[in-house]
Amino acid sequence: MRRRLAAPALVAGALALLAPACSGDEASAPTTQPFGPTECAEGDPLLAVDQIDAAVTALEAELGGPQLYFEINATSALVNLLVADAEDATVTPYAYVGGELSSEEPITGATGNTFVADSIDIDPARVLSCVASELPSSRVELFFIEGGPQGAVRYSVLTSNDQGGQLLVEVTGQGLVVGVETL
């Protein structure tokens, strides 16, 4: 039901952006408009995003150098690091809790895009603040960094509400909203 209501709004929005392009008037050519605020306020991290750097540092010190990651995510309690081994097609899950690193056995059959820690560029004080302020009735449940093509990264925030709805919000490293998907 929500998707049907959202579709006309999306079509209307798209038409509003395209209409000036069809007028033939170069001065009225379409421009890109930000989705939501143009800057996110600093705030206390709602999740353990401020522990991601420490988790990566601890893991790479333990393993002897830079690693390839499928994903790094942060909950309110911990940071998970999913380390890729492309040669063996495995992923090894690590958890960083209270300054301590632990791991589980590697899982075989893992494939997908990976990234290195140097690709991560987030502001822990801002990366969740726009989502939290724009969705005040939702709970911020999970922040995650995924590998993309050619080592790129994608930052996303999973939210939920009391009615059982969930949103996957893609953000920049500064917390600006890039896109939203209902789950």
Confidence at residue 43, expressed as pLDDT on a 0 to 100 scale: 84
Confidence at residue 39, expressed as pLDDT on a 0 to 100 scale: 83
State how far the Cα of 68 lies from the Cα of 114, in Å rounded to an integer: 6
State how far the Cα of 18 lies from the Cα of 10, in Å rounded to an integer: 12
pLDDT higher than 50, residue 4? no
Mean pLDDT of 31-58: 82
Residue 77 Cα distances to 141, 153, 154, angstroms: 11, 23, 22
Mean pLDDT of 78-94: 94
Confidence at residue 37, expressed as pLDDT on a 0 to 100 scale: 66
Say which residues have a Cβ less than 8 Å from residue 97's Cβ, sequence separation at least 6. Answer: 77, 78, 79
